[in-house]
Amino acid sequence: MRAWTSPEVPDLSELGLGRGSAVQVFDTASGALATVDPEERARLYVCGITPYDATHLGHAATYLTFDLLQRAWRDRGLEVVYTQNITDVDDPLLERATATGVAWTDLAEREIQLFREDMAALRILAPDHYVGAVESIDLAIALVERLRDRGVTYEVDGDVYFSVDADPDFGGVSGYDRETMLRLFAERGGDPDREGKRDPLDCLLWQAERPGEPSWDSPFGPGRPGWHVECASIALETLGHDFDVQGGGTDLVFPHHEMSAAEAQVATETRFARTYVHQAMVAFEGEKMSKSLGNLVLVSRLRADGHDPSAIRLALLAHHYRTPWEWADDEIVDAQKRLARWRDAFAAGGSEAAPVVDAIRAALAHDLDTPRAVAAVDAWVDAALAGGGAGDHDPASGRVVGAAVDALLGVA
Ligand code: 5CA
Ligand code: ZN
């Protein structure tokens, strides 16, 4: 699939600012900070959208978090290989298409295009591999065949299931107890109560064709892949196993990331990802912002209302990715004011650039601490705008701090 055009990222080392330090992020699987500092190349997979409605601020927060991780890695001097999928065939998409009387393919195409425009406006780095479920059905089939050959699958009325207990490390991503797993599985698209399953937690690998739904031929009969096998197979194909970071929102910890990892680990007999990083949920009107609930603040709506995309980005940056928060309308007002002050100060210049650049780098390297990075820039900006007779005013420093804010925080 075509992605979108990435923004230019200034190389701070070319401005005489050296390089950033090794990046630490919180790893859900180990429950601790992990240093993710591979030799030359960092490999990242982030779970992409199910394109049945427009990009909301929760999605934007998730993709921004992994954009910042990539910026920190690049500032470190690493090459980044980044894959994102698109769940362009799945139950909610088909249901919405039927309910609104549009072809499911047209609905997906329209929402993917809007997502591209939102991501480009927010200056989010584009994936190197932007892969749809539909265009990678063959990959999913190949992974299901591998699992079948290992004897860890079985059929229930033509549907193919994966035995989760085939992975000795099952549970290692979420760390949840069985009761929690059963509850979340039922809430998030699983079918714990289906008759004929060997373990209520076993998940669907291949769903046999249902009347009126799209299907593809396979060695298991016509049908379509399960959700988890989509991400497992796309990640293995584009990044290989044992890649650096599997990312997404906390709503994907279980079952999605647990199941994708288990499927891939049983097929390859090696670890799927080294680290699992999750963005906390952004809420609105008291609940998780979600397409199914409809309590959405859309990026495209804010843009259409005339808000600078960099202000939307700054509003999100004011929150740490691991802290759940609720959108309120004054967030964008505050961000707009902050953006104006920052731009004034970058034009005017201020004190020496290196200390504030170091502070931004240190904040990001320590678990992508954006509130701390924003506070460091605020302090420099406040001093710059207060001016006064300080002897260390350097008109050129504004350009350098502006470049660092652009490179590291993506704010133009
Ligand atoms: N297609 C699947 C992933 S394979 C999916 O979850 N799609 S989605 O459109 O529902 O969500 C896209 C991404 O945004 C996922 O990484 C999800 O975890 C994240 N996300 C969804 N809602 C929120 C929210 N309210 N706050 C933060 N992140 C969210
Ligand atoms: Zn996924």
Q: Find out whether the beta carbon of 229 lies less than 6 Å from any atom of ligand 1.
A: no
- Write the residue with the smallest CA distance to atom 14 of ligand 1: 59
The 10s digit of each residue's pLDDT in 131-159 is 999 999 999 999 999 999 999 999 999 99
Q: Find out whether the beta carbon of 251 lies less than 6 Å from any atom of ligand 1.
A: yes
Cis-peptide into 255, omega within 30 deg: yes
Question: Best mutation site among 111, 252, 298, 320 for ligand 1, i.e. most ligand atoms within 8 A of its Cβ?
Answer: 252
> What confidence score (pLDDT) does residue 294 get?
84
Tell me the CA–centroid distance for residue 359 and ligand 2, in Å.
Answer: 34
Ligand 1 atom nearest the C-alpha of 231 is 4
Q: What pTM did the predictor assign?
A: 0.97
Q: Find out whether the beta carbon of 289 lies less than 6 Å from any atom of ligand 1.
A: yes
Q: Find out whether the beta carbon of 281 lies less than 6 Å from any atom of ligand 1.
A: yes
Strands 153-156 and 159-162: antiparallel
Q: Find out whether the beta carbon of 129 lies less than 6 Å from any atom of ligand 1.
A: no
DSSP 304-365: HTT--HHHHHHHHHTS-TTS-EE--THHHHHHHHHHHHHHHHHHH-BS-SHHHHHHHHHHHH
Distance CA(57)–CA(61), nearest Å, equals 6
Instruction: Quote helix, strand, coil % in the chain, to nearest 5.
Output: 45, 15, 35
Q: Which ligand is closest in space to the CA of residue 260?
A: 2
The one-letter amino acid at 78: L
Tell me the CA–centroid distance for residue 46 and ligand 2, in Å.
Answer: 7
> What confidence score (pLDDT) does residue 372 get?
98
- Write the residue with the smallest CA distance to atom 17 of ligand 1: 249
Q: Which ligand is closest in space to the CA of residue 252?
A: 1
Q: Which tokens sit at 334?
A: 């505050």
| Alpha-carbon distances, residue 204 vs 152, 201, 211, 270 (angstroms) | 12, 10, 18, 21
| Alpha-carbon distances, residue 39 vs 9, 23, 30, 43, 78 (angstroms) | 21, 13, 22, 11, 8
Distance CA(188)–CA(290), nearest Å, equals 13
Q: Find out whether the beta carbon of 49 lies less than 6 Å from any atom of ligand 1.
A: yes
Q: With beta carbons less than 8 A apart as the criterion, state whether 69 and 364 touch.
A: no
Distance CA(310)–CA(346), nearest Å, equals 15
Q: What is the pLDDT along the chain (412 residues), one digit of tens a residue?
A: 999 999 999 999 999 999 999 999 999 999 999 999 999 999 999 999 999 999 999 999 999 999 999 999 999 999 999 999 999 999 999 999 999 999 999 999 999 999 999 999 999 999 999 999 999 999 999 999 999 999 999 999 999 999 999 999 999 999 999 999 999 999 999 999 999 999 999 999 999 999 999 999 999 999 999 999 999 999 999 999 999 999 999 999 999 999 999 999 999 999 999 999 999 999 999 899 988 888 899 999 999 999 999 999 999 999 999 999 999 999 999 999 999 999 999 999 999 999 999 999 999 999 999 999 999 999 999 999 998 655 678 889 999 999 999 999 999 9
Backbone angles phi, psi at 13, to 5 degrees: -65, -30
Angle at 246 between CA 111 and CA 116, to 5 degrees: 20
Residues 292-306 as b or e (16 or more Cβ within 10 Å = b):
eeebbbbbeebbeee
> What confidence score (pLDDT) does residue 390 get?
57
Q: Find out whether the beta carbon of 61 lies less than 6 Å from any atom of ligand 1.
A: yes
> What confidence score (pLDDT) does residue 389 get?
53
Q: Find out whether the beta carbon of 148 lies less than 6 Å from any atom of ligand 1.
A: no
Angle at 335 between CA 329 and CA 338, to 5 degrees: 150
Tell me the CA–centroid distance for residue 227 and ligand 2, in Å.
Answer: 7
Q: With beta carbons less than 8 A apart as the criterion, state whether 146 and 160 touch.
A: no
**Any residues with CB less than 8 A from the CB of 70 and at least 6 apart, and which?**
42, 44, 80, 82, 125
Tell me the CA–centroid distance for residue 276 and ligand 2, in Å.
Answer: 12
Q: Find out whether the beta carbon of 259 lies less than 6 Å from any atom of ligand 1.
A: no
Q: What torsion do the CA atoms of 108, 114, 119, 122 make, to the nearest 10 degrees?
A: -160
Q: Which ligand is closest in space to the CA of residue 229?
A: 2
- Write the residue with the smallest CA distance to atom 7 of ligand 1: 49
Residues 81-95 as b or e (16 or more Cβ within 10 Å = b):
bbbbbbbbbbeebbe
**Signed CA dihedral, 279, 109, 226, 274: sign only:** negative
The 10s digit of each residue's pLDDT in 85-130 is 999 999 999 999 999 999 999 999 999 999 999 999 999 999 999 9
> What confidence score (pLDDT) does residue 391 get?
64
Q: With beta carbons less than 8 A apart as the criterion, state whether 73 and 21 touch.
A: no
- Write the residue with the smallest CA distance to atom 16 of ligand 1: 248
Ligand 1 atom nearest the C-alpha of 49 is 9
Q: Find out whether the beta carbon of 119 lies less than 6 Å from any atom of ligand 1.
A: no
Tell me the CA–centroid distance for residue 18 and ligand 2, in Å.
Answer: 36
Q: What is the largest CA-CA distance in the chain?
A: 80
